[in-house]
Amino acid sequence: MARGEGAEQYTATLLATTVKPMKTEIKAVKPKEQRRDTQKLSVWSKLCYAIGGAPYQITGSALGFFLQIYLLDVARLDPSYASIILFVGRAWDAITDPTVGFLVSRSKWTGIGRMMPWILCSTPFAVLTYLLIWYVPPFEEGKVIWYLVFYCLFQSMLTCFHVPYSALTMFISSDQKERDSATAYRMTVEVLGTVLGTAIQGQIVGGVSSCPTEPENPNSTNITVNTTIVSLEDTKRAYLLASGVICIIYVVCAAVLFLGVKEKKESGCKTSTPLLTFCQGLWVIMSHGPYVKLVIGFLFTSLGFMLLEGNFALFITHALGHRKDFQNILLVIMVSGTLTIPWWQWFLTRFGKKTATYCGMLWAVPFMILIVSIQSHLVISYLVSVAAGVSVAAAFLLPWSMLPDVVDDFKVQNPDVHGHEALFYSFYVFFIKFASGLSLGISTLSLKFAGYETGKCSQPEAVSLTLKVLVSPVPIVLIVVGLLVIMTYPINEERRKGNRKLLEDLLDSDSETSELGSSV
């Protein structure tokens, strides 16, 4: 290697031209294979790293599935106010991602790393604000401001946790295979976290029903009113209890991440490199073609799956009529996704990441067509849910597995630019959350135009038709468009392996230079 030979020649010249004799002890340079062995992560480290991703998914699934119904039926907010809270919260969440990513990229290295301080400091504030989201204040005026403020604050604190955690992938190992393996662990735990969040919230508040129960005696109005009041108070306590359980899990996961994962300082990082401004950093990463194509492609596919997932509960309830089984069907999807992530990890290793993307995303399409083409049948609904979970696993795993490849490609083409890993991840999360907010807006407007009536057990036929469109034709078109964009994504297996070899050679060269210099 040219760089290693130059370092050795420089060291030899320095020793030969030294005026005063000096006693030197040259340490043996570690073989390349031995240095790579030291980069391997233990199963325990990968597991601890993966557990750190659970809070994001647990809180996300609980908020995604239950916040809307909580604001309407428990906090008793007007639907227009509830929509404002959800829209503004999503928009604020999207804005904070690149902002936090920029701040993280400018953070200095500390004794516990560069990402860990963000994760540790944000955790107590995230737990407190999350708990207050699920608390119904004892006043009516200002209740909208209460939920809006604490929802936005929680999203900010969660971003301060998740953006550094996502970028931590690049700092737990310099070996690409180890990072891919750790990502697979992480995706498995995150899907499991989605299951856990849905299960905890669903089981604790599972007795809540938006449909009124007819009294046995039609004239017993007072009994009905009293029962409703008691039920509402019980429901408030149930939501608060569920949030408390999730907060405890949040703290435990953050502690496991901190105690079980050691953040490694990037080798060969030049501290003399000037930091770029936010606009300069944005321009640098958005000028990298592979990153732009990857983000646009997964933006469309994510929008399709988010439309499917966001409307699937309503679809099961109103279009298929499985009101009592929708929680179980959602759990089947998540469990199926959790169990198939290891298989997708093997598949992408064996056949390549782009091939895995095509197969994983297209797998759900026939079942999305089937579910809206046949009459309602509970067994078929469960079978479709199992099949849909397979694609959900691919949608979880593949973007996070391909992002490190883009970062590596950027490093190869821009060797003098350092410390911008967090920006790549934060802008990707920004666009995905933008897709989430867009899907929420499309769904809400479409159901409103179809005549959806909040709190009603039976909806017009137009609502059923709209839900079918939102869970089948529209997502399919978006998925196909996304895959067409990903076809232009230039980082294939050959280029990925070439980048990996170049970076490993650069790392080995820097290690040899450092060891030879320290031995003088």
pLDDT at residue 344 tops 50 = yes
If pLDDT is split at 50, 70 and 90, which confidence band does 126 have? very high
CA torsion, points 146, 152, 153, 157, in degrees to nearest 10? Answer: 150
Q: How far apart are CA 102 and CA 110, in angstroms?
A: 17
With H, G, I as helix, E, B as strand and everything else as coil, classify residue 471: helix
Per-residue pLDDT at 270 exceeds 50: no
Helix, strand, coil shares of the chain, percent, nearest 5, are 80, 0, 20
Name the percent of the chain lying above pLDDT 70.
78
Domain boundaries 277-513, CATH class: mainly alpha
User: Is the pLDDT at 96 greater than 90, yes or no?
Assistant: no
Which one of 99-103, 207-211, 403-407 scores highest in mean pLDDT? 403-407
Residue 161 neighbours by CB distance under 10 Å: 27
State the chain's mean pLDDT as an integer: 77
pLDDT digits (tens, 9 = 90+) for 372-396: 887 777 888 888 888 888 888 888 7
C-beta neighbour count of 267 within 10 angstroms: 14
Residues 6+ apart with CB under 8 A from 259: 48
Q: What residue spans in the chain does CATH classification 1.20.1250.20 cover? A: 40-210+229-264, 277-513
The one-character DSSP state at 277 is P
Encoding tokens for residue 511? 């290690």
> Sorting pLDDT into bands at 50, 70 and 90, what band is 231?
confident
- At 2-14, the pLDDT tens digits run 444 443 333 333 3
pTM of full prediction above 0.85: no
pLDDT at 10 (0 to 100): 33
Which of the two residues, 194 and 219, has the higher pLDDT score? 194
272/280 Cα distance (integer angstroms): 17
Cβ–Cβ under 8 Å, residues 149 and 88: no
- Give the pLDDT confidence of 21-73 residue by residue, as tens digits: 434 343 444 454 544 445 677 888 889 999 998 999 899 888 877 787 788 77
Question: What average pLDDT does this structure show over 278-303?
Answer: 83
CA pseudo-torsion sign 79, 83, 89, 92: negative
**Cα distances (angstroms) measured from residue 116 to each of 110, 121, 157, 174, 386:** 9, 9, 14, 18, 37
Q: Which H/E stretch holds residue 508? A: helix 493-519
Q: Which band of pLDDT confidence, cut at 50, 70 and 90, is reported for residue 441?
A: low
Question: Confidence band (pLDDT; 50, 70, 90) for 246?
Answer: very high
Mean local confidence (pLDDT), 94-122: 83
In CATH, which superfamily holds the domain spanning 40-210+229-264? MFS general substrate transporter like domains (1.20.1250.20)
